[in-house]
Amino acid sequence: MPPPFAPLRNPVRRYAWGSATAIPALTGAEPDGTPQAELWLGAELFRATTGRPRATR
């Protein structure tokens, strides 16, 4: 039975003043060397959180 929740995809805003490691460390993503300043969660018009397809077994 799949979990009762769906994984989310949260957009990251990249600004020069951001950190190259803080958001990747928070999300478990591999750092790509670019500064990441904001992790957007929610229903903002241009950068809304979206669902990711669930893995099938």
pLDDT tens per residue across span 3-26: 677 777 788 899 999 999 999 999
Tokens of 8: 């989310």
Tokens of 21: 């490691």
**Whole-number Å distance between alpha carbons of 31 and 52:** 20
Show me where the domains of the chain are located.
1-50
Write the CB contacts of 30 (distance below 8 Å, at least 6 apart in sequence).
Answer: 24
Q: Is the pTM of this model over 0.75?
A: no
CB 23, CB 17: distance < 8 Å? no
Q: Return phi, psi of residue 10, to 5°.
A: -110, 125
At 54, is the pLDDT very low, low, confident or very high (cuts 50, 70, 90)? Answer: low
**Whole-number Å distance between alpha carbons of 13 and 24:** 12
